[in-house]
Amino acid sequence: MVWPEKRKQKGVRRLLFSFIFAGRGLWYVVKNEQNMAIHLAIAATVLLLGLIVGVTPLEWALLFIITGGVIALELVNTAIERVVDMVSSGYHPLAKIAKDVAATAVFIYTLIAIVVGIIIFYEPLLDIFG
């Protein structure tokens, strides 16, 4: 099913509606999920740190992949949580598995992001503060 306000649109306007819906989704998660605020603050800090220490183009690419990846996974995690809440009333073992697995995906990617961040920033920060 396509939402009526988008179905009416064609071409570029339809694309524009997709961006508007995506923006609403992002805004919803930022407003309602404390974890997302934390992820965004860390992403901003990491990118600022990248500017300060002057990372290479390849390192910039990695930083965007890890920070964007954590944010994208948190969005998918929230979407899964909402769908599970919508279809399950009360406690259900499958609801628990779905939410736990989705949360684990965010957790594992976050751990990987931390390791990549340490690899990139360890030496430059040691040079500055060591």
Question: Does residue 40 interact with ligand ATP by CB under 6 A?
Answer: no
CA distance 130 to 53: 14
- Six-digit token pair at 22? 């995506």
Residue 72 C-beta: closest distance to ligand ATP, Å = 15
5 is catalytic: no
Residue 78's CB: how many other CB atoms inside 10 A?
A: 19
Cα 52 to chain centroid, rounded: 23
100 binds ligand ATP (CB under 6 A): yes
Cβ neighbours of residue 54 under 8 Å, at least 6 residues apart? Answer: 124
Does residue 33 touch ligand ATP according to CB under 6 A?
yes
Binding residue ranges for a divalent metal cation: 33, 81
Amino acid identity of 92?
H
129 binds ligand ATP, rule: CB under 6 A: no
For tokens 């957790």, the residue is: 107
d(CA 85, CA 8): 30
Nearer residue to ligand ATP within complex by CB, 59 or 81: 81
* Amino acid (1-letter code) at residue 74: E
Binding mask 43-72 for ligand ATP (x = CB under 6 A): ------------------------------
Number of chain positions touching ligand ATP (CB under 6 A): 11
Task: Give contact residues for ligand ATP (rule: CB under 6 A).
Answer: 33, 35, 81, 88, 91-92, 95-96, 99-100, 103
Which residues are the active-site residues?
74
